Structure 1
């Protein structure tokens, strides 16, 4: 049976094992600090990578919408933040997407349908953000006539809770918007950069949507996990040493640590001529001082 927890704790109280524990705790603390350092590097490098990707996306020349996303096709993850240009006509059925926070303040997004030229499909367009407005009529109307819109693509959202007043919604869900705006419809939406070369008036521009890719540098994260595993291994090694120490102590307490006596050192018990052991452990001496052997005792009888 292996050492019990109590036996290990008794072994841990010995000065030698206390010194070993102190050394292992120092090692584990160093390993843990190195792991935290690598984690910080993983997060900072990931953020820097994401920021660089966002800057590249913002500086990239816009491409025609039809070359990357036809109507009613699957919106893939690589399209998030794609800088595109599209020509069409805004329709009047404007909505407010409530409960959206910008710069720490809660307001609404101004969402307008754009009937895309050439396809006749509807593209949801977020012109910007407003605060303190509950009716779409309180926002600036979209430009009339055919316009060229430049912006960044974003994936459509899931269906909202519903039950909002007319002109309001809580989600940019193409699956729901098609019921109000008709189809065909795009599976994503567009966040406006410019309309005919100018930003929308009377609202806060949002800029390119963020991406989730590149938030963590996985190599540095792996290094962090390795350092933490090393710290755990140091403590596990000390626990195993306690088991070895407890087994040695158990063997010593049970008397199993000594070597057996060799057979050559064992002397047989002396017996008399009838095979009985003498009480004093020796044969009686003859009158001449010589101890009789078994053969002499037989002659004297």
Structure 2
């Protein structure tokens, strides 16, 4: 008779009563770990949201600093610059205005209104003047010199290109990407863009002012998030432990191959000489 296949041996070991009882216990422990992980994730979201709200409130209350003190054209945009409140003076180039579609605001999908602001020295700053629900709602930016206060955000990855407008209409783009805008607006250009908070002179109410931008991953408490990951790992270890015990059970209970027998005993040793 042939030796049982390993799969059959593992299955027999797994359905033994003590292994089934152990499986139920470990699955219950894994379920508890999963529930505790979900609770910690919920705590991470709640605590993170409160901390982010305090951070945004501090940004709004902070006085703006000159843009040149934080960022200069064609220099790297650092992560700590996100949401920095700055002020800049220049003139809008209405002919270069673009609409970036697929952007949600208050639960409605619409368009960002992006207009180049040219500084006296010639540098170009992409400015998100706000949001509109439809292209026809996009207004003309204020003429002449304007002083804008807003929040910095990093340039986005390039999309499918920029399509210029015709007959005075706004062009279209898929992203607020300085790399793409450089080819259309010229340079030198900033590697980030500005989200308008206030403008002097003020722009029309047709464009909705946006909230300060947030960093990716903001709104989660990292400590609670780490606790959640630990609980889920513990739950996974419980399942892996049962699988390991099944393998050990199968290895310990596997019968010896048929036809094998203990080695025959040799002749008795002669008595020792006196």
TM-score category (smaller protein): 0.7 to 0.9
- Matching residue of 1:97: 99
Count residues in correspondence.
257
Distance 2:134 2:61 in 1: 32
- Matching residue of 1:217: 221
- Matching residue of 2:271: none
Distance 1:116 1:130 in 2: 25
- Matching residue of 1:30: 32
Distance 1:132 1:214 in 2: 29
Query: Equivalent of 1:205, from 209, 222, 237?
Result: 209
After superposition, the C-alpha distances for 1:166-190 in whole angstroms (9 at most, x for unaligned) are 3312133333434443332222221
Confirm or deny: 8 A CA contact 2:100 2:114 kept in the other structure. Answer: no
Structure of greater relative contact order (alpha carbons < 8 Å, 6+ residues apart)? 2
Given the superposition, is the C-alpha separation of residues 250 and 61 from structure 1 closer, same or farther in structure 2, using an over 3 Å criterion? same
Secondary structure class of the residue paired with 1:93: helix
Distance 2:40 2:201 in 1: 45
Distance 2:183 2:23 in 1: 69
Given the superposition, is the C-alpha separation of residues 174 and 34 from structure 1 closer, same or farther in structure 2, using an over 3 Å criterion? closer
Query: Equivalent of 2:186, from 182, 187, 193?
Result: 182
Tell me the TM-score normalized by structure 2. 0.76
- Matching residue of 2:61: 59
Given the superposition, is the C-alpha separation of residues 165 and 31 from structure 1 closer, same or farther in structure 2, using an over 3 Å criterion? same
* 1:1-301 correspondence runs (5 A): 4-99=6-101, 100-117=103-120, 119-134=121-136, 139-162=138-161, 163=163, 165-166=165-166, 167-170=170-173, 171-196=175-200, 198=202, 200-250=204-254
Q: CA deviation at 1:25?
A: 2.2
Confirm or deny: 8 A CA contact 2:130 2:208 kept in the other structure. Answer: yes
Given the superposition, is the C-alpha separation of residues 32 and 116 from structure 1 closer, same or farther in structure 2, using an over 3 Å criterion? same
Confirm or deny: 8 A CA contact 1:73 1:186 kept in the other structure. Answer: yes
Larger Rg: 1
Q: Which shifted more, 138-147 or 34-43?
A: 138-147
Confirm or deny: 8 A CA contact 1:94 1:110 kept in the other structure. Answer: no
RMSD across aligned positions (CA): 3.4
Structure 1: gaps spanning 5 or more residues? 265-301
Confirm or deny: 8 A CA contact 1:97 1:172 kept in the other structure. Answer: no
Structure 2: gaps spanning 5 or more residues? 269-274
Tell me the TM-score normalized by structure 1. 0.70
After superposition, the C-alpha distances for 1:40-93 in whole angstroms (9 at most, x for unaligned) are 323333333333322222222111111001122222221121110112233332
Confirm or deny: 8 A CA contact 2:110 2:133 kept in the other structure. Answer: yes
